[in-house]
Amino acid sequence: MATVIVNVGQAIPPNRMLGSGTEPKNIGWGTAAGTAAVANTTLFTETALDLSTTSGTRPAGTSSRVTTTLTNDTYQVTGTLTASGAGTVTNAGLFDGTTIGSDILYLKGDFTGIGLASGDSIAFTFKVKFS
């Protein structure tokens, strides 16, 4: 089990400091097993809200600055994904775009599978703290 900022995502903060790029606030989830690693560029079998569908769009989360240690030292994205088709969610991440199968992955984590029936939701909070 791991949560990582992946290699391809490392360029996003410097790019954003220059006023370029796209904010990585779009939330993806996936259903295959695996341990997140920095070399990853995708989720493990990313799916749409219908957990049996591997194409479509990712929902945008709500981003903000929050305080963990020092004022506004943490980038936070929150979002609730509601399954429209049943499955087991095993990993999730943040992307700079909304198209499943495309865009740049920034943050990824895998976890013990969470079984969802249609209508069940996961409320995610992603946090990245700079210090």
Q: Is the backbone of residue 49 left (phi > 0), alpha (psi -120 to 50) or beta?
A: alpha
* Interacting residue with another protein among 48, 92, 100, 104 (CB under 8 A): 92
Min CB(33)–another protein separation in Å: 15
Q: 17: part of which helix (H) or strand (E)?
A: helix 12-17
Tell me if 104 contacts another protein by CB under 8 A: no
120 binds another protein (CB under 8 A): yes
Query: Any contact of residue 127 with another protein (CB under 8 A)?
Result: yes
Measured from the CB atom, the residue of 101 and 115 that comes closer to another protein is 115
Give CA–CA dist 128/131, Å, rounded. 10
